[in-house]
Amino acid sequence: MKEVRDQYEQFPYPERDPTDEKKRLITGSPSHPGEIDTYIFGGMRDWSQPIKILIAGGGTGDSLIMIASMLATKKVPAEIHYIDLSQAACKIAEQRAEIRGLQNIIFHSDDILNASSYGVFDYIDCCGVLHHLKEPQAGFKALAGTLKPEGGLGGMVYAPFGRTGVYPLQAALRILVGDLPTRKKLSQAKKIVEGLPKTNWFPKNDCLGDHKLGDAGFYDLLLHSQDRAFTVTQLNTYLQQAGLALCGLIEPILYDPLEYLPDEAEIRARVKQMPPIEQAQLAENLSGAIKTHVFYACKSASKESAFFHFNPPPTNMQLVPRLKNIAPAKLAHHLAKKGRLSIGLSGRSYDRVLDKKLAPMIALIDGRPLGNIASTLGLDPISFQNQWCQVHHPLSEFNVLYYSRKF
Ligand SMILES: C[S@@+](CC[C@H](N)C(=O)[O-])C[C@H]1O[C@@H](n2cnc3c(N)ncnc32)[C@H](O)[C@@H]1O
């Protein structure tokens, strides 16, 4: 633990200049409030009610600032606790919050294993931390133990195959430079990495880029003292042993094995009869490019049926669908012209064909409930569900569609 703390005292992660808060807000997954609503609260959270959130191992504050700012903007009564071992990281996160005038955060320099000292939470964000614990299972359990029964966790852990080349190189660097003082270690390691032969898997792996993002990124990727990766099956086991159920993987399409297989009925049938977690593992094995698992997990096992995304699509007509990072009119226009959607993820393009006739429905994803979309289009419930299904599946697989009455 001392080595991990020392690293993040010297190299608070990720490298951030607090004054950049005046120019931009970093958003992403997990922990976008609309995603939290969709995956943990079934899209029906009442945001006028208070929410208590834990940011576990918050680093320099990306998730923290995203959630705290978005909730403050929409005047959601929120109490957000940030915990991190590194005081240097905490200071940067505090400065970012101060520049934004955020009043809804309480900062703690502490170990996430002590999370229960701060109460019970509706939602916990834990990104890029659990794979750095000596005993990850203790971390999963500590966090699960501080969740309210209806609460949930959004997290990120490393995945092995997309990080091909990292671990043999870490082992080599440990032998060659592991005992040098930090600065010397870093400069020597950079020389070694620059001179690697073309045959080494690290330079061959074009999924990897953190080492190019400054010293903190380089150190984090290649000189970490405690770092492991989990397959999606292993992640699922850790979660289950902590009493949590995996209820979402982002982006869902990455975990669809059919994306990586020939379009043949026999193969399709074989895949379709596999349980969801086995399908996800198959996809991870076939893709080779999944370097992290971004996931949602909830305490209530009954929500496991929401695995991947709502499946089947939701029937509650009060749900409010929303699009992430794209205006409905723009997406509708694109679809009416092309009849397909493409998205670039992890070095590959993913495609979905969508009937051009669905464009008017997509144009109505503007903050109104499903019931209103149906009546505006003059559709009876059955015809609406048939059409909504065709919108819901591709857009939520791309993580472009979510459900929230507020965000
Ligand atoms: C890779 S950084 C991730 C930071 C942030 N969550 C993000 O995704 O940008 C890992 C962070 O976890 C913190 N950390 C590691 N082990 C911890 C522990 N046991 N308790 C609290 N914080 C810890 C480190 O200090 C560091 O700031």
Q: pLDDT tens digits, residue range 72-105?
A: 999 999 999 999 999 999 999 999 999 999 999 9
Q: Return the best residue to mutate from 60, 84, 211, 218 for the ligand 1 pocket (most ligand atoms within 8 A of CB).
A: 84
Contact, 366 vs 323, CB < 8 A? Answer: no
Cα(56) to centroid(ligand 1), Å: 7
Contact, 387 vs 362, CB < 8 A? Answer: no
Cα(129) to centroid(ligand 1), Å: 5
Cα(156) to centroid(ligand 1), Å: 11
Tens-level pLDDT at each residue, the chain (407 residues): 888 999 999 999 999 999 999 999 999 999 999 999 999 998 999 999 999 999 999 999 999 999 999 999 999 999 999 999 999 999 999 999 999 999 999 999 999 999 999 999 999 999 999 999 999 999 999 999 999 999 999 999 999 999 999 999 999 999 999 999 999 999 999 999 999 999 999 999 999 999 998 999 999 999 999 999 999 999 999 999 999 999 999 999 999 999 999 999 999 999 999 999 999 999 999 999 999 999 999 987 655 445 554 466 788 999 999 999 999 999 999 999 999 999 888 888 999 999 999 999 999 999 999 999 999 999 999 999 999 999 999 999 999 999 999 99
Three-state SS at 131: helix
Query: Which residue lies with its CA nearest to atom 19 of ligand 1?
Result: 111
Phi and psi for 309 in degrees, rounded to 5?
A: -175, -175
Cα(35) to centroid(ligand 1), Å: 22
Q: Which atom of ligand 1 is nearest to the CA of 83?
A: 21
Residue 182 CB neighbours (<10 A): 14
Q: What is the pLDDT of residue 305?
A: 46
Return the axis-axis angle of helices 62-73 and 87-100, rounded to nearest 10°: 20
24: left (phi over 0), alpha (psi -120 to 50) or beta: beta
Q: Which atom of ligand 1 is nearest to the CA of 62?
A: 9
- Percent of the chain having pLDDT more than 90? 91
Q: Which atom of ligand 1 is nearest to the CA of 55?
A: 6
Question: Is residue 58 within 6 Å of ligand 1 at its C-beta?
Answer: yes
For CA atoms 98, 104, 108, 109, give the dihedral sign. Answer: negative
Q: Which atom of ligand 1 is nearest to the CA of 7?
A: 25
Distance CA 216, CA 13 (A): 6
Q: Which of 354, 369, 252 is nearest to 322 (CA)?
A: 369
Query: Which residue lies with its CA nearest to atom 12 of ligand 1?
Result: 57
Question: Is residue 216 within 6 Å of ligand 1 at its C-beta?
Answer: no
Contact, 281 vs 294, CB < 8 A? Answer: no
Residues 21-80 have pLDDT tens digits of: 999 999 999 999 999 999 999 899 999 999 999 999 999 999 999 999 999 999 999 999
Contact, 84 vs 109, CB < 8 A? Answer: yes
Average pLDDT of the residues of the chain: 94
Residues 289-317 have pLDDT tens digits of: 999 999 999 987 655 445 554 466 788 99
Query: Which residue lies with its CA nearest to atom 27 of ligand 1?
Result: 59
In sequence order, what are the residues at sequence separation of 6 or more whose Cβ sits closer than 8 angstroms to the Cβ of residue 294? 29, 30, 154, 155, 156, 249, 250
Task: Give the predicted TM-score (pTM) of the model.
Answer: 0.96
Distance CA 216, CA 7 (A): 9
